[in-house]
Each structure stands twice: as structure tokens, then as C-alpha cells.
Amino acid sequence: MSTVLVTGGSGFIGSHCILQLLAAGHQVRTTVRSLKREGEVRAMLKAGGAEPGARLSFVAADLENNAGWPEAVAGCEYVLHVASPFPQNVPKHEDELIVPAREGALRVLRAARDAKVKRVVLTSSFAAIGYGQAPQKTPFNETSWTHLNGNDVLPYVKSKTLSERAAWDFIAREGGGLELSVVNPVGVFGPVLGPDYSTSILLVQRLMDGAMPGCPRLCFGVVDVRDVADLHIRAMTHPAAKGERFLAIAGDFMWILDIARVLKGRMGASAKRVPTTQLPNWLVRIAALRDPAVKQILPDLGKAKNATNEKAKTVLGWTPRSNEECIVATAESLVRLGLLKHSPAKAS
């Protein structure tokens, strides 16, 4: 089995990638910004059923600094570059997101090339595919790229697009023998392993907590984090994944109201606070005047989109869980870990 580096091992996707790599027998190394987080990462992996011991090692490395990256990639055959900033709040300047995402990807690629790594799998996003474009009825696929001059291109969308573009340009111009594959997930849901999870999980958490008075008319794709990790590992080793990007999406896009109805139908008493009314767009716009986080969603209000997973299924044999399984697994884990305000786990 190979030694594999996973950047950002404390993150939601990164921790699930580590779990699946360990289960497949690999030696795993992961980067964290501070080695003080090692205990936290090991606790998350234990919650996921793994106690890797010496099969997992840690290196301190930051996307904004060169230190640590040569040590991180040394002796690795593959790198899963998962780490990327995704703040819950709007940055004061877009470069707070763009610079670490783009320059961090290039740091990892340079270090991997110099260490003779065989292949890097980069975690990009649907954000690099389906924004800044006129409405279309056909689902987006891997040939689509976000147009950066669109009115719905916020700093996070721009950061993912520019960092993926920079990665492909690097491979073309100075990659040497290094191979690159890219995974483009939509909203990532599924079982959380601890309090450090993706921003998309907050949607389910807020619905379950009753923190939202209703459901904004927003539409987005859904995929389970376990399937995202599985797709990374398939892209890591499959010969046909070299030089390719793969959309990670479970099924059709969902409206928030549909997600709320799944929670109401499957989660029993723990979903009693979930709203099942549609918030009118004008009310969301009023809320955006007071809350910068709400302002971020305004460009997407009422916009229906879709994307296809046909390439990942056909080329890599990927078989993702259904939308409903993703949503229910998310909610069940939030209840189990006591991460809801009114969680039964907290009351006990």
C-alpha cells in the first residue's frame, strides 16, 4: 500500500478521506495548521471507527507559508489536496479567500512535483463550474467553467475557480511528470465526526434548531461526504482519471424546502422545529440588510440549476448514496453527537 498525504486532515472532507484510506490499508500523513490539533483529529477518526496509531502521522503546514510542505510530501506516492478556506462569514476582502486558495494549491503542487509524487487529486467545487452563466435547462457537466464576471460570483466562488484554473495551468506549464485529477463537489452533507464540519452542514443544523423562520427559495446539489471521499480515492488510482475533473453530486439539485420535508418525514421528534414554509424572496432581501451572511445568498435566490454525475459513474464506477440518505445521515449524526441546541444527547 502507498503513503498518501491528505492536506487539511482536521476538515470534514479530509477526515473522511483519511478514514477510507486507512480502511484500504494505506499509510496516511496529514497536514494541520498546528500540531496541537492532532488529538482532535484522532478523536474524530475514532468517532468514525478508526484508531490508526502509527499508520497516521502529522505535519504542521499552512497554505500561506512554504514551511512544512517538503516534509509533508516526502515519500508520498499520492496527495489529496483537500484543504481550502471556506469561512462562515463574508471576508472583508476577496483576496482573504482567493490568495490562500490559489497560492496554497500551487505550493502543494510544486512540493509534490519536486518530491516525485505520482498524482495529486485536488478538491475543487461546483463553484468552479456552474456560476456566472445564463440560466440553462441542461445539467452542468465537467466541460463547464464559471464565468468570473457574472453577478452571482462571490469571493468563495472566485477562489475555487481561480485556484483550479491555476492548478491546471501549473500542470501544463511546469508540472513535469506530475499527474492531476480534480473532484468538484456540490454541497457536502453526511455524517459529521465532530464540531469541525463543512459550512453546508450548518443548513441542516439551523433547520433542526428552528433557527430559520422559513425556507429561502434556494436550490443546490447534495452529496454525501463518504461518497466524496470515495471519489477522491478512485480518482487517485484509476488510470483514466489522469487529467480529468469529476463532478460529485448524488442526484438532482434540491430546494431547501425539499430538504426540510425530508427532515420532517424521517427525523421524528428531533425535527419538530424544522420549518416547512417557503420564505418569500422580499423577506430574505430585508433580512440581508441586517445580516451580511444572508446577503451572500441573494444572487442565487429562485435560481434552479442542475448537474450530472454521469462521468464519475461511467469512468470511475462511482455509485453515490441518494439525496435523502445524505440529508438523513447528516441529521442523525448531529443528534448523535449532541450538536443541536435541543439535542436529546445534551439533555441526557
The rounded Cα 39 to chain-centroid distance in angstroms is 22
Residue 319 CB partners (closer than 8 Å, separation 6+): 313
Residue pair 26/3 in contact (Cβ under 8 Å)? The answer is yes
Helices 323-336/256-266 angle, 10° precision: 60
Per the structure block, which three cell numbers stand in for 294? 444572508
Q: What is the CA radius of gyration of the chain?
A: 20
Question: For 66, what's the count of Cα atoms within 13 Å in the CB-facing half-sphere?
Answer: 2
Residue pair 30/7 in contact (Cβ under 8 Å)? The answer is yes
Residue 315: its H or E element? helix 310-316
Residue pair 125/154 in contact (Cβ under 8 Å)? The answer is no
The rounded Cα 117 to chain-centroid distance in angstroms is 23
Residue 109: its H or E element? helix 95-114
What is the C-alpha to C-alpha distance for residues 190 and 173, in angstroms, rounded to an integer?
A: 37
| Residue 345: other Cβ atoms inside 10 A | 12
Instruction: Determine which one of 36, 116, 158, 160 is catalytic.
Output: 160
Per the structure block, which three cell numbers stand in for 211? 433557527
Q: Is 29 in a helix, a strand, or coil?
A: strand
Active site residue 160: yes
In sequence order, what DSSP letters do the residues of 166-192 get, joined into one string? HHHHHHHHH-TT-EEEEEEESEEES--
Q: Tell me the catalytic residues.
A: 160
